[in-house]
């Protein structure tokens, strides 16, 4: 069973940066998609960014130009570099694995296509 463990969350002021990590015990799919989602209190979970096995990435419009998703295949680790953080970036951040056919992080219902999830790491942005 795939285990995903997120780390790197914390509290920062607006304009600050954080780097999230997600360590995977293994990957279920030979052609895979790894993604970051977030959920703010009282809101639905939303996709933030994804990377598929060929290196293709996709970002939510709200984070384009500020967040960078990357992976280290040798370490089976996914990263999310978050720059210029704003209060509306606050939430629980989750990593997830799904099949490599997922290419649009903003597609309605995309989260249902991911089969493995971490427990999340909290990001709080406030002054």
Q: Give tens-digit pLDDT for 19-28.
A: 999 999 888 7
b/e per residue, 82-121, with b = 16+ CB within 10 A?
A: beebeeebbbbbbbbbbbeebeebeeeebbeebebbbebb
Backbone angles phi, psi at 80, to 5 degrees: -140, 105
In the predicted structure, residue 117 carries a pLDDT above the cut 90: yes
Q: What is the mean pLDDT of the chain?
A: 95
What's the whole-number mean pLDDT along residues 8-17?
A: 98
The reported pLDDT for the residue numbered 29 is 80
pLDDT in tens, 19-73: 999 999 888 788 889 999 999 999 999 999 999 999 999 999 999 999 999 999 8
- What pLDDT, on a 0 to 100 scale, did the predictor assign at position 28? 79
Distance CA 52, CA 35 (A): 8
Cα 43 from Cα 88, distance rounded (Å): 11
State both tokens at 67: 């967040």
Three state DSSP letters for the chain:
CCCEEEECCEEECCCCCEEEEEEECCCCCCCEEEEEEEECCCCCCEEEEEEECCCCEEECCCCCCCEEEEEEHHHCEEEEEECCCCHHHCEEEEEEEEECCCCCCCCCCHHHHCCEECCCEEEEECC
pLDDT at 84 over 90: yes
């Amino acid at each position: 069973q795939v285990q995903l463990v997120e780390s790197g969350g914390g509290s920062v002021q607006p304009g600050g940066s954080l780097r999230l990590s997600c360590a995977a015990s293994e990957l279920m799919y030979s052609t895979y998609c790894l993604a970051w989602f977030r959920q703010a209190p009282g809101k639905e979970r939303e996709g933030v960014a994804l990377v598929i096995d060929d290196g293709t990435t996709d970002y939510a419009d709200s984070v384009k130009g500020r967040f960078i998703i990357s992976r280290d295949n040798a370490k089976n680790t996914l990263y999310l570099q978050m720059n210029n953080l704003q209060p509306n970036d606050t939430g629980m951040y989750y990593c997830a694995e799904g099949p490599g056919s997922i290419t649009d992080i903003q597609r309605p219902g995309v989260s249902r296509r991911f089969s493995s999830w971490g427990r999340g790491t909290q990001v709080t942005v406030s002054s």
